[in-house]
Chains A and B, each alone.
Chain A
Amino acid sequence: MKALAVLPWWLPAVDAFAQPTPQKPLDERLRAAKVERGGLSLDIPTLAETGTSVPVVLFVDPAKLAGRTVARLGIIAPQNPRPVALELELGSVLAQPRLTTAIRLGATQAVIGVAQLSDGTLWQHAIEVLLTGSACFDGT
């Protein structure tokens, strides 16, 4: 875990379930991180009618926390010009590890929700979102 300090906290979760290839070996440091599908759910439409506002709910099943707390929530959109869509530190006033918001998507892609628990474990949940174009173009 120590070596991970120089990498973004959510990075291991992005490639966690990809098969490493000779062209793209999995970084040993990433392999060391504990990534699980776990108790995180990303609720996002699989068919989005516009990329300018896609509703998202990220929530953690409290039953799976086993005494741990959720330290951070993140949303990674790898095909966005800025792939780190959202990163939040959660505080003690929260009664539920749950976030509702809306994000921008620049293209059809697998959007990845990430939660980091107090013991360093990463949970991830990815959903493929198909972005349909606008029916009428608007130049106003």
Chain B
Amino acid sequence: MRCGLALAICVALFNPPSFAQSPPTPLIAKEAIRSGSGFTSPALRAQQKDDDLNPGMLWVDQGREIFSRDCSGCHTKPEGLAARLPKLASDGSVVTLEHQINRCQSERVKQPAYATESQPLLGLAAFLAFASRGMSHAVAPDVTQSAAWQRAQSEFTRVQGKLDFNCRSCHDYLYGKRVRNQAISQGHGVGYPAYRVEWQTLGSLNRRLRACFFGMETKVPEASDPILADLELYLAWRAQGLPIEAPAVRR
């Protein structure tokens, strides 16, 4: 009997519950999850809620025009296209909304790819995200098994920069607390592309992530760095269940 118990303990120690059976789950509980709108000022929330005052809608209007000119030949409906992204490509890399737009642009429209943060690219991305408003980003059930997710997870939890922060320090543990007069958000990307008053323009999630690195006083990756796409995939996984609300108005 005693032997049997010891054996059972040994087995339990050397065969811990496998990750394959219980995949990691986001740290923020489903009941507590809130998009960035839950942390902005009432004035910005009001501006986002009202499409007539949301400057991001100007980009949506332009994206709609480009979509009907260049994209509607293949895509009969814009709804839901953005909700399928970001996704894993067969080579294990992550395809973001902006990547997919540029892939179509060079392979289907046969035009040079749009430049990073250029007006037509932001316009199309904003229009497509707007057309998926209310839907959630699709997250593959086995996404946590992917190398991209694991790379992003280690980047998200890696302490870096002059302030000795990782992403978690603020967005998993300190959300709702204030830095100066600003509330720390949970770091979800469902409002992007978003109109940020600090940028005084619309910008992508890619740019927002680079701004995070800047704020952490660490090396800011180039826009094309694959780690940023990996992080977009990771953020979509963290934000499971939150509806897309682009173009959001953010500080």
List the interface of chain A (C-beta within 8 A of B): 45, 47, 49-50, 52-53, 55, 132-140
Contact = CB atoms under 8 A, between A and B. Distances in A.
A137 B251 CA distance: 12
B189 to A, nearest CB: 15
A45 B11 CA distance: 63
Nearest to B208: A140
Interface in B201-251: 203, 207, 210-212, 214-215, 220, 251
B169 interface: no
Given A55-B43, A135-B179, A139-B214, A50 B220 contact: no
B199 interface: yes
Given A50-B197, A50-B198, A135-B182, 20 more contacts: A47-B181, A49-B41, A50-B251, A53-B197, A53-B200, A55-B47, A132-B181, A133-B180, A134-B180, A135-B180, A135-B184, A136-B179, A136-B211, A136-B215, A137-B215, A138-B211, A139-B214, A140-B199, A140-B211, A140-B220
A54 to B, nearest CB: 8
A139 B220 contact: yes
Contact of B251 (A49, A133, A140): A49
Contacts of B212: 136
Which 6 A-B residue pairings sit nearest by Cβ, starting from the closest?
A: A136-B215, A132-B181, A135-B179, A53-B197, A135-B182, A138-B211
A134 B43 contact: no
Interface residues of B, number: 22
Nearest to B40: A49
Interface of B is mostly: mixed
Interface of B: 41, 43, 47, 178-182, 184, 197-200, 203, 207, 210-212, 214-215, 220, 251
Nearest to B216: A136
Contact of B180 (A45, A132, A140): A132
A48 to B, nearest CB: 8
A140 B182 contact: no
A138 B198 contact: yes
Given A50-B251, A139-B211, A45 B200 contact: no
Contacts of A133: 180
B216 to A, nearest CB: 8
Instruction: Pick from B41, B184, B198, B207 the residue with the most CB of A within 10 Å.
Output: B198
24 contacts: A45-B43, A47-B181, A49-B182, A50-B198, A52-B198, A52-B200, A53-B197, A132-B181, A132-B182, A135-B180, A135-B182, A135-B184, A136-B179, A136-B182, A136-B211, A136-B215, A138-B198, A138-B211, A138-B215, A140-B199, A140-B207, A140-B210, A140-B211, A140-B220
Contacts of B199: 138, 140
Contacts of B184: 135
Contacts of A50: 197-198, 251
Name the residue among A45, A55, A132, A135 with the largest chain B CB count within 10 angstroms: A135
A134 B182 CA distance: 8
A132 B198 CA distance: 13
A52 B198 CA distance: 6
Nearest to A100: B53
